[in-house]
Amino acid sequence: MKMLDRLEAMPLLGPARVTATNMADQLAYQVNPDTHPEDALRVLICRFLAADTSPETLSQLATAEAWATQEGLSHIAIRIQLLWLAEIGRAHREAVDEHLLQAAVETARDLGICETEALLAKAACEPEHRDTHLKAALKHMSEPR
């Protein structure tokens, strides 16, 4: 799905963020979650990243993680978990279970996925190493995939 690939590649700064939110909303109506759960979850992730965070969006993210796990989409589930940990860590670092963070980071490493998300989650949850993790995440984001 070309539109979804375009959405995932969009920068989420300035006016592009509004465009991404609108595109995610449009795609949410076009993707059938029963027949294409992975695409539906990818749209949900993009929508989460483009929109302002609220208790409702965090709740939706937790539900999406459970759905991804149920569908056997562990690569999506771990990405969602890392995004959730990063967001909670930024707002309420003390609320993050360190064992959950470590398990998510280790799972991502073992699967060879989500290096940037893992670094951002660690940056949000480990203030003593925040700068190191952020620099590594920025370096990773600037490398071609």
Instruction: Give the pLDDT of residue 108.
Output: 96
Q: How far apart are CA 94 and CA 115, in angstroms?
A: 23
Q: Tell me, yes or no, whether 63 and 40 share the same domain.
A: no
Cα angle 33, 81, 120 (rounded to 5 degrees) comes to: 125
Q: Tell me, yes or no, whether 33 and 70 share the same domain.
A: no
Q: How confident is the model at residue 144 (pLDDT cuts 50, 70, 90)?
A: low
Instruction: Give the pLDDT of residue 130.
Output: 92
pTM: 0.90
Range of the structural domain that residue 90 is part of: 57-145
Q: Which of 52, 71, 94 is the last residue of a domain?
A: 52
Query: How many domains are contained in the chain?
Result: 2
Q: Tell me, yes or no, whether 30 and 98 share the same domain.
A: no
State in Å, rounded, how far the first CA of the chain is from the last one: 19
| Bigger pLDDT: 145 vs 45 | 45
